[in-house]
Amino acid sequence: MRKFDLEHVYESQQFDSELLDIIFTVADEMKNDLLLKKRRYSQVLKDKIMASLFYEPSTRTRFSFESAMARLGGSILTTENAKEFSSASKGETLYDSTRVMCGYADLIVMRHNKPGSAKMAAEASSVPVINAGDGSGQHPTQALLDLYTIKDSFSTINGLSIAMVGDLKYGRTVRSLSYLLTKYSNITIYFVSPSVCRMDDDIKNYLTENDIKWKDEDSLEKVLPLVDCIYMTRIQRERFPNPEDYESAAGKYIIDVEQAGMMKEKSIIMHPLPRVDEISREVDKDPRARYFQQAGNGLYIRMALLYLLLTNNPDI
* Residues assigned a catalytic role: 60-61, 90, 111, 139
The span from the CA of 77 to the CA of 307, in Å, is 17
Which DSSP letter does residue 255 get?
B
Residue 122 phi, psi (nearest 5): -60, -40
The span from the CA of 189 to the CA of 150, in Å, is 14
Strands 161-165 and 229-232: parallel
Which DSSP letter does residue 252 get?
S
CA 92 to chain centroid = 28
* 162 within 8 A of 142, measured Cβ to Cβ: no
Q: What is the amino acid identity at position 191?
A: F
The span from the CA of 7 to the CA of 125, in Å, is 10
For residue 265, count CB atoms less than 10 angstroms from its CB and return exposed for 0-12, middle for 13-18, buried for 19 or more: exposed
- SS3 (DSSP) at 164: strand
The span from the CA of 189 to the CA of 278, in Å, is 19
